[in-house]
Amino acid sequence: MRRRSYISQYLKDLVPVAFELETAREFQAFGTGPAQFKVKLNRDIPKRELLRSTSLALGEAYIRGDVEIDRDLYEVLDMFLGQIEHFRLSPAALHGLLHSSLAAKKQQQEVSSHYDIGNDFYRLWLDETMSYSCGYFKNPGDSLFEAQVAKADLILKKLHLEMGMTLLDVGCGWGFLLMRAARRYGVKGVGITLSKEQYQQFSKEIKEQHLEGFLEVRLMDYRELPKSGLQFDRVVSVGMLEHVGRGNYGMFLKHIGEILKPGGLFLLHFISAQKEHAGDPFLRKYIFPGGVIPSLREVVDLLPEYDFRTLDVESLRLHYTRTLLCWLDNFRKHRERITKERGEEFVRMWELYLAACGAAFHQGIVDLHQILMSKGVNNELPMVRVV
């Protein structure tokens, strides 16, 4: 009987359904029943790379075009990532990748590497709000735009805003949340970001929408907040905690507490994990350098140390799966243009990122939580939950 190659056994142990594998030397079928998909390997993947990291080895092979599949990428990854507990990872071999510096300058460079690749690029596949975070699909037929507006409104309702209040958005992106808050509630807001492209676009929007009397945006690190002299009634942070880094969560919460008025509310919206881990090697190398997903429990455990009282915790996990699939669909509609401007490998890398993240949320590998908390005791809020 012909001896199977290493990659054959490797994939057999990871894929829970029937599939076919074709290489230059062999064609094999695995599992029982009809094959769910076919993998064509155009070039061997070194065994040492497969042993070092499953996600990095297969991800890089896919980017290069060494791996092809005959079924939708998300569908295949949704099956494949259900086996993530069997993925190989050598922390020692990838220590430098999985444990980067938490210094402010280094983190600024990491944020810039992702968010400053061009507003025009993001505009192609995000919705009109330019929201690069989980939407909130209240109704089955909601569009991505409707879901992003609903997400902003959900957050603003949870914050119990009133006319004249001050609101800080830490990691404000392109500014939609603050602009929505200013127009609907008459609050005065400040947004801070490390992305020069986001800062420039948001500054332009403030002027064009005549919101100068209500909003301002600053190119600023959260570590600079205590020295700013600013104080706020409300603080929100959407999708920024993932860039803070394990080891800095306490400092982040301390600085938020220092600029939040007693009884003030803080809504923290972040991708979370069940347990603490250093991160995925592929995502850290190609998509989010330095990015770490905190566990829900490590964040909640820190809150009492900085006098934050937990008021509400909500999971939006499946909303993020749907959001990512909307982004992936939009991205594919502009595939030809993006390929022409940035190259085939860039496109395959981003398709893989969006599809893999969608599958990761669907499989419960990661979650999305919103935590509403108060600085000290607040007895003035309604006793019923916002719906």
Residue numbers annotated as active site: 357
Helix (H, G, I), strand (E, B) or coil at 179: helix
Residue type, 164: G
Q: Report the C-alpha gap between 180 and 164 in whole angstroms.
A: 14
Return the number of other C-beta atoms located less than 10 Å from residue 310's C-beta: 13
φ, ψ of residue 284 to 5 degrees: the values are -70, -35
Return the number of other C-beta atoms located less than 10 Å from residue 50's C-beta: 18
Cα separations in angstroms, 224 against 77, 116, 140, 299: 41, 21, 42, 21
